[in-house]
Structure 1
Amino acid sequence: MAQDGGTDAGAPGGAVGTAVGEAWDALVATARRTVADGLVVGTSGNVSVRVGDLVLVTPSGVPYSRLTGDDVVAVDLDGRPVRGTLPPTSELPVHLAVYRSTDAGAVVHTHAVHATAVSTLVDELPPVHYMAAALGGPVRVAPYALYGTRELADHMLTALTGRTACLLRNHGTIAYGATLDQAYDRTAQLEWMCRVWLAADSHPTRTPALLTPDQLAETAEKLRGYGHPG
């Protein structure tokens, strides 16, 4: 497929080829980080990044430690293969739905333990910490649907309305951002907030204090003005 003035996105040379190679290296590093940080076991999660009209995505069933620069998997926004011989992740419909509906530059999906546990307990993560504002507000839980299906993607998009992350019931997390680093950071923050809520809610006689919508709005405003709080 020709991109950007006729340069072949599948070719190793040229500006597009260089951008794809660099993006792939960053994607693999992020995927390996999800394993190292305990957000993923084996190949249970997946990561994608957008380069122009291409979406680079982790392949299905391949341990991230084995991926090299020669294993690039790229599709267009309709899911048609553009580069690579490995099959893309089975969650490709979810990733593509995010790119078609938002300005996302990268998407991270995990089966993080605490977030997955919370997804089985509530319809929305209670706002126990102000960093919920960094994700757009209290994080919703998308209803369960079989992985890799359009139904799951539709449920996810509803849960993501006005948000940059959500939980998938009995499944895991989805977070997106302008960059891989931002998408990963939002994923890690979500898992941490789920862990905090589970710990607080486990007290036998006390109920966790929750932030009000006004308090979250105040945090959101400060985040817009000053970046991440200390």
Structure 2
Amino acid sequence: MKVPEDSVAGMRRAVAEVCREVFDRGLALSGSGNVSVRCGDLVALSPSGFRLCDVRPRHVTVVTVDGDRVVGAFEPTSESPMHLAVYGKVGEGAIVHAHSPYATALAHTDEPFPTTAELERWVGRVEEVGFLEPGSEELAREVARVARVPCAVILRGHGTLGVGRDLREALKIVEALEEAARVAALRPRP
């Protein structure tokens, strides 16, 4: 498949930029979290084994929707099955998977995940997926089952996922989830 270089380069730049923003905003620390975008039949994925603040365009791998590598020397995120399964359902869009402190802490409990009026107006119901092994086909199937655009997903015992029409929207969704969890943590308890 021949892909225009400018579209591939643009996808790689955009993913790298959002990776750094996710890290800078405290939504994914150490080596956690991943980012992707789908344009046409191509998906650009953040690399495995990198802190998001260190991702540069050359580190981003571009694959077909079937997972065949088009460009990139680095292994894509171990969550590639989840990203590709979601794109198989929703088509074009973007995904940010975060391990932000408040939302991830809450995802590790049995408490209902809080929401805000703004988040509900924007994405509707916040979806939840029970704990499944990260990177597994089972997790990929379950997340794809509940995914839509836009969509917020709580991965129990794991983290959060924002599915948006573009990278900015996906980033805003995981930020909104973190904000809702932070507000819930700060509210007075009886």
Partner of 1:130: 118
Summarize the Cα distance change of 1:185–1:178 in structure 2 as closer, same or farther, 3 Å threshold: same
Kept after mapping to 1: 8 A contact 2:62/2:71: yes
Distance, in Å, in 2 between the alignment partners of 1:171 and 1:45 is 10
Summarize the Cα distance change of 1:69–1:161 in structure 2 as closer, same or farther, 3 Å threshold: closer
Higher Cα Rg: structure 1 or 2?
1
Selected match of 2:156 from 159, 169, 175: 169
Partner of 1:204: 189
Selected match of 1:82 from 70, 88, 107: 70
Structure 2 residue runs of 5 or longer lacking an equivalent are none
Q: Is it true that 1:71 corresponds to 2:59 in the alignment?
A: yes
Selected match of 2:31 from 17, 24, 43: 43
Partner of 1:144: 131
Distance, in Å, in 2 between the alignment partners of 1:66 and 1:197 is 31
Please say which of residues 152-161 and 53-62 is displaced more in the overlay. Answer: 152-161
Q: Classify the secondary structure of the residue corresponding to 1:82.
A: strand
Deviation at 1:65, TM superposition (A): 4.1
Kept after mapping to 2: 8 A contact 1:110/1:173: yes
Kept after mapping to 1: 8 A contact 2:33/2:97: yes
Summarize the Cα distance change of 1:47–1:96 in structure 2 as closer, same or farther, 3 Å threshold: same
Between 1 and 2, higher relative CO (CA 8 Å, sep ≥ 6) is seen in 2
Q: Is it true that 1:22 corresponds to 2:10 in the alignment?
A: yes
Amino acid paired to 2:21? R
Selected match of 1:31 from 14, 19, 24: 19
Amino acid paired to 2:159? G
What is the percent sequence identity of the aligned residues?
33
Q: How many residues align?
A: 190
Summarize the Cα distance change of 1:124–1:163 in structure 2 as closer, same or farther, 3 Å threshold: farther
Which runs of at least 4 in structure 1 moved beyond 4 Å after TM superposition? none
Distance, in Å, in 2 between the alignment partners of 1:178 and 1:161 is 10
Kept after mapping to 1: 8 A contact 2:129/2:155: yes
Deviation at 1:145, TM superposition (A): 0.8
Distance, in Å, in 1 between the alignment partners of 2:189 and 2:184 is 14
Kept after mapping to 1: 8 A contact 2:16/2:60: no
Deviation at 1:123, TM superposition (A): 6.4
Kept after mapping to 2: 8 A contact 1:111/1:172: yes
Distance, in Å, in 1 between the alignment partners of 2:92 and 2:184 is 28
Structure 1 residue runs of 5 or longer lacking an equivalent are 3-7, 10-15, 206-230
Deviation at 1:62, TM superposition (A): 2.1
